[in-house]
Amino acid sequence: MGGGRLITSIDDIRDEMHKRENRTRKLIIVSDKINPTALRQQTRRLKAQSHVKAIQSVIIVNYLWVINSISEASLRELPLV
């Protein structure tokens, strides 16, 4: 969606996002957490990791955001960072 690239491992985030073609892109992590409290807790844990901390623009959404974007045939508004 949106011409993005899939990064399958958190260990690969830093290297992939520092590639020239990815430097201006936002990193969107899709979480399996539906509960808002669990999603916030996971977001704090992920953003504390050095792999993610090294990236300037990181947004974490749950998979319902992805499903809703697909069903609406457009990307939904991203949550504030």
- Domain spans of the chain, in order of start: 10-71
Please work out, in degrees rounded to the nearest 5, the angle formed at the alpha carbon of residue 57 by the alpha carbons of 7 and 26.
50
pLDDT at residue number 2: 59
Q: Does the predicted model carry a pTM greater than 0.75? A: yes
Task: Flag whether pLDDT at 80 surpasses 80.
Answer: no
Contact 59, 47 (CB under 8 A): no
Sequential DSSP letters for 2-71: TT------GGGHHHHHTSGGGTTSPEEEEES--SHHHHHHHHHHHHHSHHHHT-S-EEEEEHHHHHHHHH
Segment 16-73, tens digit of pLDDT: 998 988 888 888 899 999 999 999 999 999 999 998 988 888 999 998 988 888 888 7
pLDDT, residue 67, reads 87
Q: Which residues contact 61 (CB under 8 A, 6 or more apart)?
A: 28, 29, 30, 31, 78, 79
Residue 81's pLDDT is 56
pLDDT of residue 78: 77
Location of structure tokens 């991203």: 78
